[in-house]
């Protein structure tokens, strides 16, 4: 008989991974009532607590149990950069040489956090720097919510306020959120929970390159606002720009978008369209796009177009459309009755604009070296 060896790891359960029902189940295992879990959940997400000893309205015995078995642990911050325009970008270490980014975008009437869902991305869109890195791994629910948990409580301190700073979340950072569905949904539920961040469904947006079956499930499980990365008005061009189109072509994708409207918190779906010089920005593309969206929605205005001037990055081999081309394209859509906006570029001086998020994955572009150099966290105090 061999000798039995038990490998004991001191892995404490990270409570950031639980949505409220999950935390209730966890507390039940500890012999605690559901309302205790709610109190704990509020400490974590509403107060940003990390230390169980702080939670003075919980019984001492429970605090001791939690200290022995659980932890509230965010992500390690590698860098923090602040743009001239107030945009703040954080680079978080997610282990094994992988890092992901979150970006805070302050505006007059809101504060938006752009959140990552994966380290890298497997979809491989031509114009996206994350896509060029390839896929490393899915984030856990805890790693997704940790970005909001950290940013919200950091900003409250930074701005010396006890009020909510982040009013909107967009899943538009690194990764394809609907290819990490099982981790995404609990994280979204924490954002929406009144005991969590209390964001309304219309202020939480999932952006997807078009994972059709998961769009259908999201409508059932957690119908938040939906943005779909379209980028091309015909299948040949979209196959080239967004390779996932070969699996879920435009007819299927647009039908799914139309169907989503019955669950959506708003009466439209947003299409994102990255404007690439000479590739998808010509008047004939605008006309094809108009013809395409008119095939759906029963003659109603059912979608909005958000044009994103391409943000260049090394090795893309693509160029940003001229302002004139963007304006002409927008005008053609508007004249056809499609509500069209042009996304303002924010934070481009710190590479925080759409598609520039390159938190980077090991072995691909020397991320480890760069991270090592950037380990000093620069914190800009309120001016
Ligand atoms: N994977 C999801 C969400 C992350 S990307 C998706 O593709 O929708 C968020 C948005 O930025 C998408 O619309 C994406 O197409 C766009 N984007 C990616 N790279 C870009 C770039 N270099 N310039 C402008 N927009 C870009
Ligand atoms: Fe992935 Fe979105 Fe980038 Fe495409 S645009 S590669 S889906 S992150």
Cβ 205 vs Cβ 117: under 8 Å: no
pLDDT at 27: 97
| Protein residue closest via CA to atom 7 of ligand 1 | 209
Active site residues: 101, 354
Say whether pLDDT at 382 is over 70: no
Q: Which pLDDT belongs to residue 163? A: 93
* Closest ligand 2 atom to 130 CA: 3
Six-digit token string for 3: 């000798």
Ligand nearest to the CA of 120: 2
Beta strands in 178-328 (DSSP E): 204-208, 225-229, 269-275, 303-309
Sign of the dihedral through C-alpha 197, 203, 206, 207: negative
Instruction: Give CA angle at 140 (137, 146), nearest 5°.
Output: 120
293, two tokens: 């969206």
Euclidean distance between CA atoms 313 and 140, whole angstroms:
28
Nearest to 211 by CA among 100, 304, 121, 145: 121
Which helix (H) or strand (E) covers residue 90, if one does?
strand 88-95
Q: Which two tokens stand for residue 123?
A: 């979809």
Rg of the chain on CA atoms, in Å: 22
Per-residue pLDDT tens over the stretch 139-153: 999 999 999 999 999
Residue with tokens 């759906």: 296
pTM of the model: 0.91
Could you tell me if the CB of 148 is within 6 A of ligand 2? Answer: no
Q: Treating both helix axes as pointing N-terminal to C-terminal, what angle do 323-335 and 283-294 enclose, rounded to 10 degrees? A: 30
Q: Is the dihedral of CA 289, 291, 297, 302 positive or negative?
A: positive
User: What would the pLDDT profile of 323-366 be if each residue is shown by its tens digit?
Assistant: 999 999 999 999 999 999 998 877 877 777 666 666 544 434 33
pLDDT, tens digit, for every residue of 103-128? 999 999 999 999 999 999 999 999 99
Q: What ranges in 127-202 are assigned the alpha helix state H?
A: 129-133, 141-158, 181-192
Tell me the pLDDT band of 368, cut-offs 50, 70 and 90. very low
Report the chain's mean pLDDT, rounded to a whole number.
Answer: 90
Whether the per-residue pLDDT at 238 is higher than 90: the answer is: yes
Percentage above 70 pLDDT, the chain: 89
Q: Which residues line ligand 1 (CB under 6 A)?
A: 127-128, 172, 176, 207-209, 229, 272, 274, 308, 310-311, 354-355
User: Mapping DSSP to helix (H, G, I), strand (E, B) and coil, where does residue 241 land?
Assistant: helix
Per-residue pLDDT, 356: 66
């Amino acid at each position: 008989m061999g000798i039995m060896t038990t490998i004991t790891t001191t892995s404490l359960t990270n409570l950031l991974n639980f949505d409220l029902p999950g935390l209730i189940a966890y507390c039940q295992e500890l012999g605690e009532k559901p309302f205790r879990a709610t109190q704990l959940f509020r400490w974590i997400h509403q107060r940003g607590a990390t230390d169980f000893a702080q939670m003075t309205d919980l019984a001492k015995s429970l605090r001791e149990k939690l200290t022995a078995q659980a932890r509230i642990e965010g992500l390690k911050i590698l860098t923090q950069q602040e743009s001239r325009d107030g945009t703040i970008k954080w680079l978080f270490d997610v282990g094994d040489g992988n890092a992901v980014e979150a970006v805070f975008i302050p505006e007059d009437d809101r504060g938006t956090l752009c959140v990552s869902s994966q380290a890298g991305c497997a979809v491989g869109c031509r114009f996206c720097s994350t896509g060029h890195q390839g896929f490393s791994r899915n984030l856990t629910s805890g790693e997704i919510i940790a970005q909001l948990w950290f940013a919200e409580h950091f900003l409250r301190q930074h701005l010396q306020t006890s009020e909510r700073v982040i009013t909107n979340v967009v899943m538009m950072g690194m990764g394809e959120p609907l290819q990490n569905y099982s981790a995404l949904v609990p994280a979204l539920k924490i954002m929406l929970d009144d005991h969590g961040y209390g964001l309304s469904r219309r202020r939480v947006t999932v952006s997807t390159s078009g994972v059709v079956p998961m769009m259908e499930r999201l409508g059932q499980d957690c119908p938040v606002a939906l943005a779909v990365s379209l980028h091309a008005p015909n299948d040949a061009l979209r196959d080239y720009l967004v390779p996932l189109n070969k699996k879920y072509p435009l007819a299927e994708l647009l039908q799914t978008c139309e169907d989503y409207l019955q669950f959506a918190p708003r009466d439209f779906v947003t299409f994102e369209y990255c404007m690439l010089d000479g590739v998808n920005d010509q008047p004939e593309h605008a006309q094809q796009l108009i013809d395409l969206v008119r095939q759906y929605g029963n003659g109603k205005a059912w979608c909005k177009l958000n044009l994103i001037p391409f943000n260049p990055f090394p090795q893309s081999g693509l160029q940003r459309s001229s302002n004139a081309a963007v304006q002409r394209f927008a005008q053609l859509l508007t004249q056809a009755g499609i509500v069209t906006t042009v996304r303002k570029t924010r934070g481009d001086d710190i590479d925080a604009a759409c598609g520039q998020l390159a938190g980077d994955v090991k072995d691909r572009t020397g991320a480890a070296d760069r991270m090592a150099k950037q380990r000093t966290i620069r914190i800009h105090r309120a001016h």
